[in-house]
Structure 1
C-alpha cells in the first residue's frame, strides 16, 4: 500500500461521483489506474441494466478497484441490487438515510459502504450502522451541499466522535491541491474527496464550455436557484457566471417547471430537455444555451489553472503533498 492509502487503495484520494453522468467509465478508470478511488455516478432513476453496463465498461478500462455513488433521495433499489451483484469495491451513498440492513447486504456482497454526511449527527448514525468510511462534506463543496458547517470545524469533530474505531474520515469541500490534502490530514482526515478538480480533467464528461469556465472563474455562491422542483431542499454551490449573477435573486415561488427549454442533453443514455434553472449541468452531449445552465463548483475552483489528465492530477497531488510534509513539517 502506498502513501496514505485507505480502504485498500494506494492513495487517500477519492474522486467524487459527479452527477448526473460526468464521472463516467473513462474518468473513473483513469483515477483508478493512478491508484486513487474513482466513483461512477448511478442514474437518478431505476435502470439496473444501464448500471451494469457502466460498471462492466469501466472494467474493460481498468483492472483496479473502483466504486459507484448512489443518491438515496431518488429511486434506487433496483440499481443497488445490480451494483451489489456486480460486486464493485465501494458503494458511496448520499442524501438519505442508509440502513443497517443495506450495510449488511453490501458487506455480504464484499462491497464497502461509504456515506457522505454534513453533520456530526449524521456521522454518528453512520458509525452506528457499521459503515467502512465516512466522507465529511463541508459547506465549501460544489454541487449539492448537505450540511451548513465549514470543513475545518466539522472534520475534527467527527474524527473525535469516531475515536479509536477504524473508520477513515475523508474530507470533502473546496480541496483541489496538495495543500488542501495536507490540511485535511492535519485535521485528522485520512483522505480527501475531490469533485471540482476532477471535473476539470481531460477524461471528465463535462461539456468543454463548463470545463473552460472552471479555469476562467474563481468565485462561487451557495444558492437554491437550481432544481427547486426536481430536488427540493437541496441547495447547491455554483460558479458565479454572468447568467447566475443575473438570476441569483430568483423569487422563492419560482422554479424550473414554468421555464423555457434552453437545451437538450443525453444523460445516462436518455435524451432529456434542459429547462432554465433545472440545474442539469452540461455534459459533452448537451446542446443549446450552455452559458445559461447551472455549473456546479466548490470554493477551491480559483486554484485550478488548467485541464489535466485525471491520472496526472492524482500523481501531482500525492507527490506535492509528500514534498510539502517533508519540507515544511518534518523538521518543524
Structure 2
C-alpha cells in the first residue's frame, strides 16, 4: 500500500466540490506558489493554487502548462483584482480562461463582476475574505467556496478578527462550503477548524516553508527558526500595494527600527533599493518577499508568515506536510470522539 493510500481522508463538502482527497488548500501566495508547489499539493491529494498576482500573462500561461505537466489533478489560479491594474487583470483572466483552468481564487475586496466572468468561463470560484459582510457578498456574487481569513494569517491580512471568532459567524450564515485560513500549520489546527464549522483549511506559511516553494531558502529557514511571538501585524511593508493593506511578517531589522508599526502610506515611504529580482529593483518597505531568484539584503525584505510559524519544525516536501496534517487531524478527532463516548458511558 502506498503512503497516500494509507493516509486517512476526511471527506467534506469542500473535497467534493474541489475534487480533491484532503480538505487542504495551499494558498496562492504571490511568488512562492509557483507550479512546482501547486502541482505537488494537488498530486498529493490537496488542492494547489498558483499565486499569479500581477504576473505577466506569458508567465501565467507557462506556469499553468507546467502544473499540467506535473499532475492531472485539479488546481486553481489566485489573482487579486483589488491590487491589479484593470487592463492587466483582464489579460490575466483571459489566459486562465483560455487555458480552461478548473478554478480561480480571488482575494481582498469582492468584485462581483470578476466572479461572474469566471463563472461564465466554467471556473469554480473561491473567494478569500476577512469579514462576514464580504463573505455574504462573495456568496451572493456566485462564489462556490468562501475562504475565511483570520487576523493570525501571514501575508496580506484583510480582516481584524481572530479566526475562532469570525469563522463560526460566517459558517452560521453561508450555505456554500467554507475554508478556514490563518495560523493553521498542522493537524490540530485542521481539526480545530473543522470543529468550528469549516469544511477544510487554506494554508500558506506551512507550504511557503516546503521543499517545492519558490520562496528563498533564507525565508524558509527564518520560518523554521521562528518563535511563537516572532510575527508582527503592520502596514509598514506597503510599496506596490494600495494604501491600508496590512500584512503579517516575521520581525526583522526594519520592524525593529521603524518606531511605529502603523500609519504608513505607500506613496510616502522612501524608495531605497535593497535587492533585485529578474532585473527589477526591490525596495525597502516593499511587499516583495525574497524568492529563489532574489538577490540583495534579504533580511530587510518582507518575510511573510502567519502566527503558526512558531509550530513549524522543518522544511518538508508538500506531500509529507499533507500526510502529517491528515494523520494528526484524524488522530485528534478520533481521540476526542473516544473521550466523548467514554464520558457518556460513565454511570451517573
TM-score (norm 2): 0.88
* Residue of structure 2 equivalent to 1:80: 93
Of 128-137 and 320-329, more deviation after overlay is shown by 320-329
1:275-309 Cα shifts (integer Å, max 9, x gaps): 11112100011111111111010011100010000
Quick one: which of 31, 36, 51 aligns to 1:26?
36
Is 1:127 matched with 2:145? no
Give, in whole Å, the separation in 1 of the partners of 2:143 and 2:226.
37
TM-score when scaled to structure 1? Answer: 0.92
Say if 1:251 and 1:124 are closer, same or farther in 2 by CA, change over 3 A.
closer
Structure 1, unaligned runs of 5 or more: none
Q: In structure 2, list runs of 5 or more residues that go unmatched.
A: 1-7, 341-348
Distance change (3 Å), C-alpha of 1:56 and 1:189: same
User: 63, 83, 103: which is aligned to 1:90?
Assistant: 103
Deviation at 1:55, TM superposition (A): 0.3
Residue 308 of structure 2 aligns with which residue? 300
Cα distance in structure 1, aligned partners of 2:292 and 2:239:
24
Of 198, 203, 227, the match for 2:238: 227
Alpha-carbon displacement from aligned partner over 1:215-247 (angstroms, at most 9, x marks no partner): 111211100101246431110001012442222
TM superposition shift of 1:95 = 1.7
Q: Which has the larger radius of gyration?
A: 2
Give the deviation of 1:253 after TM superposition: 6.0
| Preserved contact between residue 244 and residue 265 of structure 2 (Cα < 8 Å) | no
Match of residue 345 from structure 2: none
Q: Is the 8 A contact 2:179 2:202 kept in 1?
A: yes
Report which of the two has the higher share of helix.
2
C-alpha deviation, 1:250, in angstroms: 6.2
Tell me if structure 2 keeps the 8 A contact 1:91–1:112: yes
The reply on whether 1:109 has 2:121 as its aligned counterpart is: yes
Q: 1:242 to 1:329 in 2, by over 3 A?
A: farther
Question: Of the candidates 296, 316, 322, which is equivalent to residue 324 of structure 2?
Answer: 316
Q: 1:136 to 1:251 in 2, by over 3 A?
A: closer
Secondary structure (helix, strand or coil) at the match of 1:110 reads: coil
Q: 39, 45, 54: which one pairs with 1:44?
A: 54
1:15 is aligned to 26
Question: Does the CA-based 8 Å contact 2:33-2:214 persist in structure 1?
Answer: yes
**Larger mean Cα displacement after TM superposition, 72-81 or 181-190:** 72-81
Query: What's the CA shift string for 1:256-275, capped at 9, x where partnerless?
Result: 75232111013xxxx31011
Where do residues 1-332 of structure 1 align in structure 2 (5 Å cutoff)? 2-4=9-11, 5-7=15-17, 8-19=19-30, 21-44=31-54, 47-73=56-82, 74-75=84-85, 76-99=89-112, 101-162=113-174, 165=175, 167-218=176-227, 219-228=230-239, 230-247=241-258, 249=260, 252=263, 255=266, 258-266=270-278, 271-332=279-340
Q: Please say if residues 115 and 134 of structure 1, whose CA atoms lie closer than 8 Å, have aligned partners that are also in contact.
A: yes
**For 1:171-217, what per-residue CA distance to the aligned partner results, in whole angstroms no more than 9, with x for missing partners?**
00011000100000000000000000001100001111111100111
CA contact (8 A) 1:6 1:12 kept: no
